Amino acid sequence: MSFTLSVSPLEETSFSVNVADNVQKIREGIRQAALRVGRDPSTIRLLAATKTVVSSRLIEAYAAGVRIFGENRLQEAQEKIPAVGPRQGLTWHFIGQMQRRKLKDIVGNFAVLHSIESVEQARNINVIAEKMGIQQDILLEVNVAGEGTKGGFASKDIPEALVHIDQLPHVAVRGLMTLPPFSENPQNARPYFAELRQLRDSLSQESLKQGGLKELSMGMSNDYHVAIEEGATMVRIGTGIFGKRG
């Protein structure tokens, strides 16, 4: 029997990252962005994007006050959720694209699904949620820049989609989510964030069940401050907390 310890590349590269310090810095960034535009910082929720990050790092983030973890990949989530275990106030969100055959393992296991991209997908979720006897909270992903490579609704299709999805008793639309085109300059994302906010505001008048469309899930490590200035209620931060992905 060998007692050699093997260290995975992921653990090695994340060794120098101080998760608690990073969480602190991001919180301060959130606070300053909110104050710049007269918003109450406590209305903005921090979601830690956990793809490729090992469970021990997630536990450090929890200890530093993070209460929402967002996973993109079901298989990773299925390992990490039990490894992190149930903890006071901790919720998991699903922030990746969802293949149809995986939906049965996603619905009911995540508090919010961020990336609903079609009415059909919402209907499929509704069927599974009905069998489970639950109501699944979802966000609709909006492809604000109309990028051919990305999923999500066109902005103009959202009002009609909502009419259909609002009839599904086992899903509740809590808001909108977007992932603008990548740019080194975060200011380039501003018009897209503004568009998502305008879309949300134009819809929040409509009679949506249970409180309706409040959430704007937008902003990542390089542009979350701009997203907050434009109204984000949830920012999804990966590298800003856990360092560069291996």
Footprint of ligand PLP (CB under 6 A):
49, 51, 72, 95, 179, 220-221, 236-240
Please say which residue, 159 or 246, places its beta carbon nearer to ligand PLP. 246
Please state the closest distance from residue 37 (CB atom) to ligand PLP, in A: 21
Please state the closest distance from residue 95 (CB atom) to ligand PLP, in A: 4
Please say which residue, 14 or 72, places its beta carbon nearer to ligand PLP. 72
Backbone angles phi, psi at 106, to 5 degrees: -100, -50
Using Cβ positions, the residue closest to ligand PLP within the complex turns out to be 238
Give the Cβ contact number of residue 39 at 10 Å.
18
Please say which residue, 180 or 212, places its beta carbon nearer to ligand PLP. 180
Please state the closest distance from residue 209 (CB atom) to ligand PLP, in A: 26
Please say which residue, 168 or 196, places its beta carbon nearer to ligand PLP. 196
Please say which residue, 175 or 238, places its beta carbon nearer to ligand PLP. 238
Give the Cβ contact number of residue 182 at 10 Å.
10
The gap from C-alpha 204 to its chain's centroid, in whole angstroms, comes to 20
Nearest alpha carbon to residue 138 among 154, 153, 126, 155: 126
Please state the closest distance from residue 51 (CB atom) to ligand PLP, in A: 5
Query: Quick one: 66 exposed, middle or buried, by C-beta within 10 A (0-12, 13-18, 19+)?
Result: buried
Q: How far, in Å, CA of 173 to CA of 209, rounded?
A: 8
**Partners of residue 132 on adjacent β-strands:** none
Please state the closest distance from residue 143 (CB atom) to ligand PLP, in A: 13
Please say which residue, 109 or 239, places its beta carbon nearer to ligand PLP. 239
Q: How far, in Å, CA of 37 to CA of 4, rounded?
A: 54
> Do 240 and 224 contact (CB within 8 A), yes or no?
yes
Please state the closest distance from residue 97 (CB atom) to ligand PLP, in A: 9
